[in-house]
Amino acid sequence: MNVLVIGANGQIGKRLVHQLKESNHGPVAMVRKEEQVDQFKENGIDTVLGDLEDDFTHAFEDIDAVVFSAGSGGHTPKSQTKVIDRDGAIKAIDEAEKAGRKRFIMVSALKANRDSETWSEPMEHYYDAKAKADERLRNSDLDYTVLMPGRLTNEEGIGKVELKERIESIDNKTITRDDVATVIVELLDAKQSYKKSLELLQGSTPIKEAISNLN
């Protein structure tokens, strides 16, 4: 399966394309700048230049699945969060539909699907942008999975998670970016994850087992 990774230069995206390269999938890293290309090509990873604020229709050629892992980052203006996390994601969904690319995994955020009263004021714009993009995906005809990881860390992955449509206890819990990437790789072919929104935290269940337990 050829997988377009939108946001390949991000912290999850970089991990993901390398894990896809080691799996039976073929990653295509979408990056914004020419100078970002070499780091992927040096590792035998195909790349395509594309900007979420411009036309990136060409990126969907010869693609079987799409992973949207782009994000504006925590230090960017609120307006840019809308441009990338909301509008850019919605454009990617639109383009996937036009191109007939059915499998789409959205990397969202824990709490994006919960009551807005749970959103802290500094993060409200971020969760709102994610929620609107997620809702557009849920209303599409794509074979989607909305993946909502908790607070991300750069620790080494442990391969064990909690993956459910709703996790009851989420306070002060985290998930490594390594494990988020591994979950995405395993979800690509997991039909039991189609048309689902899944919350993700570090846990005690091996990733393959956590995915097989979805129903």
> Catalytic site residues?
126
Do residues 51 and 45 touch, judged by C-beta distance below 8 A? Answer: no
Contacts 24+ apart (CB under 8 A), 121-126: 125/78, 125/81, 125/82, 126/81, 126/85
- Show the CA angle centred on residue 48, arms to residues 41 and 125, nearest 5°: 115
Pairing of strands 196-202, 160-164: antiparallel
Query: Containing H/E element for 149?
Result: strand 143-149
CA distances from 176 to 72, 140, 179 (A): 19, 29, 5
Do residues 4 and 26 touch, judged by C-beta distance below 8 A? Answer: no
Look-up of token digits 């035998």: 44
> What is the rounded radius of gyration, in angstroms, for the C-alpha atoms of the chain?
16
